Structure 1
């Protein structure tokens, strides 16, 4: 695999250009579908030249992966906020709902950008986000302070892995409300078992 030579946008104008490219990509995905997501169409919709697009992104998959990265960061920050607030009731449901509905995008788009993130940056990306999440909530609640590395792994990886599987198996016709209920039941049961030790 060739090394990615894209520029890293450090100045405000460069960051604005990257943001415009990513926003245009999301708009195309949401309104026109994946088939219309070409680099030429993205550049046109973003109001940049195709050369400018290629200064920052090597191809369409690179754009999708960056959208997936931003989605994952948004999700991580939202969940860290839920954990920091430590509400007495509904924290698990709020976390599961965040995992299922992060962003203003459709489930199809969320699945597409998540797949691109894993495909482009490797399966280790989940571990990277796990460590960043654990660092961000470290010491904020009694729960995170008492979790073993293995228990923390189960709590972060199980729902994400199950949701990835659900997105990959649309033929199962899973009802999103029922799936949410079952994931909440799974996580609450696991936490109850940890507390009972």
Structure 2
């Protein structure tokens, strides 16, 4: 078993109390010396795990078929995000905690532009009425989606359909909201 997947299993099954380089090496079937050849410490393994999970999410979103209608496109993207979160909810939640502890996106995998680029075609088709704020709107959509999926990951029972509906309601309401002109 690969070291990063071994780390994922340790986190899922035992939480932080059992998450150590010794436990990860044992689970991966490698010596602790071999583990340290590739990962200088537990945080390096955690960063690799965060990078892997982030890549999986970006790949899932990238694989979403493009829809002609912006609402269908957003629904597909929301479904991909929810599927990713609920695929391994305990792991997703613990990774969120570690990512926060390590200072934001704690991996070497640069996802800064990837989600924005994936969302841009769908959001650009929405009735925004404020095209000059497209990047800001995309950023807000990412924040809304992440906040709601992460919050759902904190609860023991997760209703996938309800979560998708709540995220759609928040995003569609935000995107179609027509604010009063600034004073």
**Fold equivalence (TM over 0.5):** yes
Confirm whether residue 180 of structure 1 aligns to residue 164 of structure 2: yes
Match of 1:86 in 2: 67
Q: Is the 8 A contact 1:111 1:164 kept in 2?
A: yes
Q: Is the 8 A contact 2:22 2:32 kept in 1?
A: yes
Match of 1:41 in 2: 23
Question: Shift in Å at residue 48 of structure 1?
Answer: 1.6
Deviations 1:52-108 (A, max 9, x none): 2122223334323321221112212221332x6235464333322322221784211
Query: Structure 1 CA distance, aligned partners of 2:115 and 2:25?
Result: 33
Confirm whether residue 123 of structure 1 aligns to residue 104 of structure 2: yes
- Between 53-62 and 179-188, the greater mean CA deviation after superposition: 53-62
Question: Shift in Å at residue 155 of structure 1?
Answer: 1.4
Taking a change above 3 Å as real, the CA distance of residues 37 and 105 of structure 1, as seen in their structure-2 partners, is: farther
Query: Structure 2 CA distance, aligned partners of 1:117 and 1:157?
Result: 15
Q: Identify which of 162, 166, 169 aligns with 2:148.
A: 162
Query: Structure 1 CA distance, aligned partners of 2:20 and 2:90?
Result: 17
Structure 1 unmatched ranges of 5 or more: 1-18
Taking a change above 3 Å as real, the CA distance of residues 49 and 165 of structure 1, as seen in their structure-2 partners, is: same
Q: Identify which of 168, 179, 189 aligns with 2:173.
A: 189
RMSD: 3.4
TM-score (norm. length: structure 1): 0.67
TM-score (norm. length: structure 2): 0.71
Taking a change above 3 Å as real, the CA distance of residues 90 and 116 of structure 1, as seen in their structure-2 partners, is: same
Q: Is the 8 A contact 1:21 1:42 kept in 2?
A: yes
Give the length in aligned residue pairs: 170
